[in-house]
């Protein structure tokens, strides 16, 4: 072992509390620890246990449940989640670029960070309502782009820019009736898409309905915006089914629990981990392979270790 500063041979200097060998430089007297080979992101956590924890996270297990199952402190689990989420976000940006698509559906799903918007008394943009914009390809089930932000025109534009970089060629796109989609898609995607909106009109809750009962749909209108969208393909059912998958697989998005995200970065990391796992590792029952395989991005089902490395 050589010193990083002097480039001279060092002598052994005992071990730390984790059992790792320490060294001391003979010239500058600096001490340091041997590299943690086989560990994830420089953490003391072994790679096998880190992968097991991440598998539990993508299956919807809560952080405190994982803490009891693995005897790993919850702070370590959250640091692992953030480190893995950063890698997964880079993976999605690098791999999903200029993918040929035919039918894209977009939707935004509500969540919150730290507190709900009506309880947010600060100006912190990373508190309160947190909407996840999702764009999915109907045939391959591939998550093309996602964006975490507020339900505003600015975040809609940021999401559409990501969708523009992820897709190639001319295709049909369907969104819900959220008005900022019109300007965002016109600016970023232009005339290379056939754009339509599926507008749903909901009724007021009846006397026999409870607080969390689903709203009653009064009317559904398919509205072509421009281009020549196929009326039979004006649909948002697939992306809404993906919203259900997110609710079931991401514990912090489960309704009526105290498992919600207390920090924005943790929610962002959990979403990135889910989308990477969904695209490359999870076998879809309808297409009998992963969405990345169906889209031609890979030729096999990835393991969690392969996705992280």
User: In this predicted structure, what is the pLDDT of residue 36?
Assistant: 60
What phi and psi values does residue 6 have, to the nearest 5 degrees? -90, -15
What phi and psi values does residue 223 have, to the nearest 5 degrees? -120, 105
Q: Dump pLDDT digits (tens) for 88-108.
A: 999 999 999 999 999 999 999
Mean model confidence pLDDT for the chain: 91
Q: What is the mean pLDDT of residues 186-197?
A: 95
Q: SS3 sequence, the chain?
A: CECCCCCCEEEEEEECCCCCEEEEECCCCCEEECCCCCECCCCCCEHHHHHHHHHHHHCCCCHHHHHHHHCCCHHHHHHHHHHHHHHHHHHHHHHCCCEECCEEEEEEEEEEECECHHHCCCCCCCCEEEEEEEEEECCCCCEEEEEEECCCHHHHHHHHHHHHHHEECCEEEEECCCCHHHHHHHHHCHHHEEEEEEEEEECCCCCCCCCCCCCCEEEEEEEEEECCCCHHHCCCHHHHHHHHHHHHHCHHHCCCCCCCECCHHHHHHHHHHHHHHHHHCCCECCCCECHHHHCCCCCCCCCHHHHHC
User: In this predicted structure, what is the pLDDT of residue 207?
Assistant: 58
C-alpha to C-alpha distance for 92 and 57, rounded to whole angstroms: 19
pTM of the shown model: 0.86
Q: Which two tokens stand for residue 177?
A: 């009736």
Q: Which two tokens stand for residue 210?
A: 């409870």
Neighbours of 70 (CB within 10 A): 16
Report in angstroms the alpha-carbon separations of 93 from 90, 150, 163, 250, 276.
5, 21, 11, 21, 10
User: In this predicted structure, what is the pLDDT of residue 209?
Assistant: 57
Q: What is the mean pLDDT of residues 243-264?
A: 93
In which band, very low, low, confident or very high, does the pLDDT at 205 lie, cut at 50, 70 and 90? low
Measure the N-to-C terminal CA separation of the chain; round to a whole number of Å. Answer: 26
What dihedral do alpha carbons 47, 302, 109, 166 form, nearest 10°?
Answer: 120
Cα angle at 214 between 208 and 216, to 5 degrees? 75
In which band, very low, low, confident or very high, does the pLDDT at 208 lie, cut at 50, 70 and 90? low
| pLDDT of 39 strictly over 70 | no
Neighbours of 226 (CB within 10 A): 14
Higher pLDDT, 181 or 22: 181
Q: What percent of the chain has pLDDT over 70?
A: 95
- CA neighbor of 96 nearest in space, from 58, 149, 51, 134: 134
User: In this predicted structure, what is the pLDDT of residue 55?
Assistant: 97
What phi and psi values does residue 81 have, to the nearest 5 degrees? -60, -45
Neighbours of 249 (CB within 10 A): 19
Q: Which two tokens stand for residue 40?
A: 């994830």
| pLDDT of 10 strictly over 80 | yes
C-alpha to C-alpha distance for 306 and 309, rounded to whole angstroms: 5
Q: Dump pLDDT digits (tens) for 219-237.
A: 889 999 999 999 999 999 9
C-alpha to C-alpha distance for 24 and 174, rounded to whole angstroms: 63
């Amino acid at each position: 072992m050589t010193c990083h500063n002097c480039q001279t041979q060092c002598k052994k200097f005992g071990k730390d509390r984790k059992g790792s060998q320490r060294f001391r430089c003979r010239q500058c007297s600096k001490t340091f620890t041997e590299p943690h080979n086989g560990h994830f992101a420089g953490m003391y956590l072994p790679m096998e246990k880190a992968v097991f924890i991440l598998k539990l996270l993508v299956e919807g297990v809560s952080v405190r449940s994982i803490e009891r199952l693995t005897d790993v402190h919850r702070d370590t689990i959250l640091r692992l989640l953030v480190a893995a989420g950063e890698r997964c976000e880079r993976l999605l940006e690098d791999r999903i670029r200029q993918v040929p698509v035919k039918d894209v559906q977009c939707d935004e799903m509500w969540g919150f960070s730290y507190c709900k918007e009506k309880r947010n008394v600060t100006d912190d943009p990373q508190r309160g309502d947190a909407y996840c914009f999702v764009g999915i390809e109907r045939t391959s089930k591939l998550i093309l782009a996602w964006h975490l932000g507020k339900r505003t025109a600015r975040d809609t534009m940021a999401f559409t820019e990501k969708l523009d970089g992820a897709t190639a060629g001319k295709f049909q796109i369907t969104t819900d009736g959220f008005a900022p989609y019109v300007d965002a898609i016109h600016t970023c995607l232009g005339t290379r898409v056939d754009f339509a909106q599926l507008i749903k009109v909901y009724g007021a809750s009846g006397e026999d309905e409870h607080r969390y009962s689903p709203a009653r749909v009064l009317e559904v209108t398919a509205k072509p915006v421009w281009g020549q969208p196929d009326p039979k393909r004006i649909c948002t059912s697939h992306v809404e089914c993906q919203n259900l998958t997110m609710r079931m697989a991401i514990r912090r998005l489960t309704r009526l629990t105290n498992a919600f995200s207390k920090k924005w970065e943790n929610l962002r990391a959990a979403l990135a981990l889910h989308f990477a796992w969904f695209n490359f590792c999870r076998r879809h029952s309808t297409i009998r392979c992963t969405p990345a395989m169906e889209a031609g991005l890979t030729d096999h089902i990835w393991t969690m270790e392969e996705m992280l490395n």
